[in-house]
Amino acid sequence: MISLTLEEFTKRGKAIKLVISDNDGVFTDNGVYYSERGEEMKRYSIRDGMGVERLRNAGIDTCIMTGEVSPSIKKRAEKLGIKRLYLGVKDKVAILDTLLAETGLQKQEIAYIGDDVNDVEIMNEIAREGLTACPRDATVFVRPYSHYHCHADGGYGAFRDFAEWLIGLKVS
Calpha distance 156→22 (Å, rounded): 14
What percent of the chain clears pLDDT 90, i.e. is strictly above it? 85
Q: What is the mean pLDDT of residues 79-99?
A: 96
Is residue 155 predicted with pLDDT exceeding 70? Answer: yes
| CA nearest neighbour of 68 among 46, 90, 45 | 90
> Would you tell me how many other CB atoms lie within 10 Å of the CB of residue 172?
10
Is residue 38 predicted with pLDDT exceeding 80? Answer: no
Query: What's the N-to-C CA distance of the chain in angstroms?
Result: 22
Whole-structure pTM value: 0.95
Characterize the bridge pairing of strands 33-35 and 38-41: antiparallel
Side chain identity at 131, as an amino acid letter?
A: L
Q: Which domains does the chain have, with CATH numbers?
A: 6-171 (3.40.50.1000)
**What's the pLDDT band for 33 if we cut at 50, 70, 90?**
confident
18 near 111, Cβ under 8 Å? Answer: yes
Calpha distance 82→72 (Å, rounded): 13
Q: What is the mean pLDDT of residues 63-69?
A: 95
Q: Please state which of the ranges 30-34, 37-41, 67-71 shows the lowest mean pLDDT.
A: 37-41
